[in-house]
Structure formats: C-alpha cells, structure tokens
Amino acid sequence: GAGVSQSPSNKVTEKGKDVELRCDPISGHTALYWYRQSLGQGLEFLIYFQGNSAPDKSGLPSDRFSAERTGGSVSTLTIQRTQQEDSAVYLCASSLSYRNEKLFFGSGTQLSVL
Amino acid sequence: AQSVTQLDSQVPVFEEAPVELRCNYSSSVSVYLFWYVQYPNQGLQLLLKYLSGSTLVKGINGFEAEFNKSQTSFHLRKPSVHISDTAEYFCAVSELHSSASKIIFGSGTRLSIRP
C-alpha cells in the first residue's frame, strides 16, 4: 500500500478482555515503531522493531503488553486483560532504515476499554 | 537514555505574529532531532529534521529550527503564522548509535492561532 495501515481504526472492549492491534508498514521499510497517544500525554514510546527483532522493549507498560513482527512486515500489538488505563490511540510508524531519518505514521487505533 | 522536554503545552498567538515553540533534549551522545506536526484529525507528519551540517534547518510551510548544542535545544520558529498552522507540534530525538536506536517524542505543544 501507499502508506502505513492500521486496523481496526476503532476498538471498544470490556475490561479484562484481550485485544490485538495490527500494523502494515510501508513495503520495504525495515524499522517499525509502536507509540501510545493519550490525551495531553504526547507520544509514549512502546517498542520498535528492526526487521523481526525488537532491540528495545523498554517502553512496554507491563507484561500484559506484547508485540511481534513477522516476515519483516506486519506487526501485531497484543494487550492482555485490558484495563481502563489502556484506553488511548495506538500509533504505528515505519521508516526506511534503522537510521530513523523519517517516520511515516498510520492513522492509529482508538482503543476504548469500558 | 535520551529525553525531550517541551515546556509549553499550549501557545496562543495572533495571525501573522511570529512564534517560537521550545524544545530541549537530554542525551550523552550525538543526536538526530525532529519536529513533527499533527493537524486536526490528521496523522503525524515530518516538519523538519536535523541530522548534521548547518544548525539552521528549514522545513515545510515556512518553519525553521535551530540546533544549539551548548544549550541542548532545538526550538521551532516561524516569522508569521497563519490560521492553517493550528496544530499540535512534537519535538523528537534519536541517539546516534552504530545499531538501531529509538525515537523519543516530547509531550507536544498545541499551537492555536487567533484571527
């Protein structure tokens, strides 16, 4: 595709349920990032991938959060046993190389935990 | 580890007035610096970046930023703003390493333009 694609665009779930958020980066982009944007909180770094490996997972808020990337392309962010504080917009971005010269962002997934 | 501070959460200015959005960073190594913009109901896009060379960087829509290593700052400026500049602006930093390195964003500055 022409840009970074994220699905679903909106997700409403009940507290305690698991959710999976998907990101399709721009073809050929080797680096992929996940961020969380909460109201008034800016962009919180979660994790990034270089190829299929994740050199830095330090931003994941708790062990309920995990992410994987397969085939150097699609990535899935999984949140287990969702809590109300997980409600936010989850943004995915990709870049051409590990030099991180420019990130291309998706439109995000708005997650609401009731 | 690197960090970014945007001291102003909101900046109101009148149309055609100059504006400066402040950004300070912290890092023990050399860095790349970025400004991203998020217009209402749109995704983030790159406004400008500093990688090396001239410390004055020009971006899209008439914005520019100056890298000041001694003050660890990368302030964004525009001499005359327009209503269409209403957006949230994010400063970001990435440390230079031989291997991949993450990009950290500040908390953002909401620029509101008054007619």
Chain A CB contacts of B9 below 8 Å? 40
Chain A CB contacts of B95 below 8 Å? none
CB pairs under 8 A between A and B: 57
A12-17: average pLDDT: 97
Residue in B46, B104, B107 closest to A41 by CB: B107
Contact B107 A42 (CB under 8 A): yes
Q: Residue A40 corresponds to which amino acid?
A: G
Q: So what's the pLDDT on residue A78?
A: 98
Find out whether B108 and B89 touch, Cβ atoms under 8 Å. Answer: yes
Distance, CA of B113 to CA of A111 (rounded, Å): 30
**Chain A residue with minimum CA distance to B107:** A42
Q: So what's the pLDDT on residue A11?
A: 97
**Chain B residue with minimum CA distance to A31:** B100
A 10 A CB-CB count for A72 gives 16
pLDDT digits (tens, 9 = 90+) for A54-95: 888 889 999 999 999 998 899 999 999 999 999 999 999 999
